[in-house]
Structure 1
Amino acid sequence: MSEEVTYADLKFQDSSKIENIQEFDQVGTKVYTTSKIEMEKLKKLQYFKEELQKNVSLQLMHNMNNSKNITKLSITLQTIATKLCYELSRKKPEHQCNPCPKEWIWHGNSCYLLSKDFKTWQNSDKMCSANNASLLKIKDKSVVEFIKSQNLHNYWLGLSPRKDPTDYENLEKKIMSPDWFTRNTNDRSDRMYCRNIIDKIYIYYDYCTTPKKYICEKLANPVRTESILMNEVPAGRI
């Protein structure tokens, strides 16, 4: 009797072990299957991420190329607008596309004011400063050509004052000279000499306290394309 019980118990235990093993196998299979599915999802997400990064990179490159093209087009448009405005301003100085203030002359990239009143060199410099400008400096041959075209005579220039005068100097030899004034409006001695234009192409020294006309210069504003197009409708078309 005891042997049957023992055998039955053993059989029952073996049966329980088998069931546990089967359950474990089922759980393991589920875990494996779940892991495989999640791995596949992860691979898909990784692939999607890589494709998205490629598309973003391509889009950025495309945008950069578009940006460069837009910049080139803007520069070309600005150049054409400036040339057209310059021609319009030659025929009609008060044209609204003119980038210089009223009574200022547009030449190259700058605006020039030729004064009608007479002032000392120091006061001339202050007047230019009050107009957000400075006394004329000869930076290149284009400025020299502008001076020649205006037949200027006895106008103060933006050259630093000095204690001793020298002989007449040719204007073109002063292009980009370190002598050009860098702004210092301290009171000048009555014996200081400042330079002005004589006979269009020569520089002459005179006392800084001598009243003369003066030339102010400042950078011209960019020409606005819309200012050219406005009111430029051909006759008969409204």
Structure 2
Amino acid sequence: MSKFHFAFLLMIVAVATCCKTGWLTNGNSCYFFSHDTENWIGALQLCRELGGKLVEIETEAENTFIKSQESQFVKDRFWIALSDVEIENTWIWMNSKVPLSTTGFSDWFPGQPDNNKLDQNCASFHLNKTSGNTVWHWDDVPCMGRNHYICEALDSPGNIVG
């Protein structure tokens, strides 16, 4: 391959997808891990204001990516867009309105969701440190609690100049 062809291929690769500053890239999505806390509704709204949506974890690979990123943070709970607030025990991804039962993937802690005290209608990605290990799974918690949150947006094409 000539130097010209190689440079041309590099230019094509350079016109790539990119995420906004502060967002992390995985596949064709960008992820924002908040530094502030909100209740679940506030997290839904803030993600929209940031140009994304509260994350919907659709595959094991996406879940694994999020686990790998969260281990870098000291926070122990992040809101995700999963809720059974409309129909008890029917968990729905609230942006797409897709029932969790149809996606084929979930990552609940054993024994969850349990709707403890009949007040747990929103899902968080939660770190459990009780066994000496750091284990991330989903947990149902009260929607009015204040947690960090994860937003997701599609990559947008960007041109790299230089």
Aligned to 1:105: 24
Which of the pair is proportionally richer in helix? 1
1:210 aligns with 2:129: no
Distance (Å, rounded) in 2 between the aligned partners of 1:222 and 1:98: 4
Aligned to 1:220: 155
| C-alpha distance 178-119 of structure 1, shift in aligned 2 (>3 A) | closer
Query: Which residue among 40, 54, 71 is the counterpart of 1:135?
Result: 54
Distance (Å, rounded) in 1 between the aligned partners of 2:120 and 2:39: 12
Instruction: Tell me by how many angstroms 1:140 deviates.
Output: 1.9
Q: TM-score, normalised by structure 2?
A: 0.63
Unaligned runs of 5+ in 1: 1-76, 86-96, 167-176, 185-189, 232-238
Which of the pair is proportionally richer in strand? 2
Deviations along 1:188-238, one digit per CA (max 9) or x if unpaired, are xx94521101235411111100000000001001243xx1xx33xxxxxxx
Aligned-CA RMSD value: 3.3
Aligned to 1:179: 92
Instruction: Tell me by how many angstroms 1:146 deviates.
Output: 1.0
Aligned to 2:38: 119
Amino acid at match of 2:78: Y
The answer to whether the 8 Å contact 1:192/1:207 transfers is yes
Unaligned runs of 5+ in 2: 1-8, 98-117, 128-134
1:148 aligns with 2:67: yes
Sequence identity percentage:
26
